[in-house]
Structure formats: C-alpha cells, structure tokens
Structure 1
Amino acid sequence: MTSIDRLAQEIVSAVKAYTDDVSDAIEKRVDEVAESVRAEADANAPKRSGKYAKGFKVTKQGSSGKAKRVVWNKKNSRIVHLLEFGHAKRGGGRVAGRPHLRPAYDHHAANLPDDIKRIIRNGG
C-alpha cells in the first residue's frame, strides 16, 4: 500500500521530469531555428568582401526556462539596418536595400510556435 506522502512525491517527480524534458526539447529546437536563420542570413548577405556576411552570430539571452536567441552581426552591427533597408548616399540619391536578415527570420521562425506546441503535446 502506498502512502499519501509517497504518492505526492511520485507525482511531483513525474511533473518535474516532464517539465525538464519539454524545456530541453524547446531549447534545442530554438537553437536549431536560430542557427538556420544565421546560416541563411550569411548566405543572402551582401558580399563585397565577404567580411560582413561572416560576422553573423547567435547569442543566447535570457534566464533559465526562457529560450531566447539573438541573431546579430558581431563585427558590423551598426550597418545591418542600412544594408537591410537601404540608405541615402552622401552626394544625393539612395542605395537600395538588400533584405537578408528579416527574410531568413520569416522563413525559419514562422513554424516555431507550432513546433513548440507539438513538443509540449508530445512531452518532449
């Protein structure tokens, strides 16, 4: 016969195991999506010398239990928006934008909420 205290401990440990499995699976999926976004941004970035495209990195942010990743250009972070959206020339006129980061995000992160729901439903 199982005591009430023992039953409560078993339920708590089962819920904790489920939560840990789900958290690990979500974090792994977020890492995969962030890496896919980084790789596509690298591939589609403007390449005059190639240095700009090689500067994209994935940084982990947030506390435990919150899977947040930031894809950014570590070497040239100040010019990403200029290349993405275009900018004015010094002597007049405009330089056309070359979207590369937003399309990569839209392509890979669009299914992430559905993936997270599936992970939660399947228990990891």
Structure 2
Amino acid sequence: MSNIDIGRLSDEITNQLRRYSQVVSEDVEQITDELTAEGVEKIKNNIRSKKLIRSGGYVKGWTRKKVGKSIFIHNRTDYRLTHLLENGHAMVNGGRVFGTPHIRPVEEWMVTEYEKRIEKAIEK
C-alpha cells in the first residue's frame, strides 16, 4: 500500500471510487449485452420446443435493439402476434385460443440472472 499525504486522502478516495464506478459500469454493459443475446436465444428455443408457430418467420423475427444505453428484445417481423400468442385470443367463430407463455418465463429468468450477475460483478 502506498503512502498518501493526509491532505490528499479525500482526492485519492474520490479517484478510487471513480475507477471502481467505471469498472462496474463496463461490467454492467457487458452483462447486459450477453444476457440479452442469451434471452433472444431462449425465446427462440421456447417457441421451437412448444411448437408455437409452424413457419419459422416468427422465430427468426426475434432480435434485440440497442437504443442509447438500453437494449430491447422484440420481434421485428411479427410484433402483432406476440401478445396474442402469449396471452391468448378470441377466434372468429366465438371460440377461444389459450395463450402459450413463451416470453414471460424468459423475462423472469433474465431478471433474476441479471441481478445475480450484477451482484457478482460488484463483489469482485
């Protein structure tokens, strides 16, 4: 440990906190990027495993988009279908199609995984 003049102690503490903040900020960006990529793949796998759609267009449409520092996961081709497939919908003949949750489980997994990874990044 280096010797620090008592008059410069507050400056040194500020510098160390700034460095720590920068490292954690970079880790958070990396974690967010990795987790959203994993989330897109998990949604695609959920759709395939539940045989939700017969064609591959709905699956291929799932992507992520970075806007500023935020990253959004969305379906760029069939965005109108996501709500109907997730929550169910009424049919023309009066029947009802029940929803097949394929987004919500991944969202819940991502929230808990994000918290775990952020805590781990802060601790190191």
Q: Same fold (TM over 0.5)?
A: yes
Tell me, yes or no, if structure 1 residue 52 matches structure 2 residue 54.
Answer: no
Q: Percent identity?
A: 34
Other-structure match for 2:112: 110
Structure 2, unmatched stretches of 5+, are none
Query: What TM-score results when the alignment is normalised by the length of structure 2?
Result: 0.79
Other-structure match for 1:31: 33
Other-structure match for 2:15: 13
Count of equivalent residues: 118
Structure 1, unmatched stretches of 5+, are none
Contact kept, 8 Å, 1:33 with 1:109, in 2: the verdict is no
Change (3 A) 1:73 1:3: same
**How far did 1:8 drift?**
4.9
In terms of mean alpha carbon deviation, does 111-120 or 18-27 score higher? 111-120
* Structure 1 residue runs of 4 or more that deviate by more than 4 Å after TM superposition: 1-9
The answer to which structure, 1 or 2, has the higher relative contact order (CA under 8 A, 6+ apart) is: 1
CA-atom RMSD, angstroms?
2.2
Q: Distance in 2 between matches of 1:2 and 1:106?
A: 47
Other-structure match for 1:120: 122
**How far did 1:69 drift?**
2.3
Deviations 1:64-95 (A, max 9, x none): xxxx3221101111210001111100111011
**How far did 1:109 drift?**
2.7
Other-structure match for 1:75: 77
**How far did 1:61 drift?**
3.4
Other-structure match for 1:42: 44
Query: What TM-score results when the alignment is normalised by the length of structure 1?
Result: 0.79
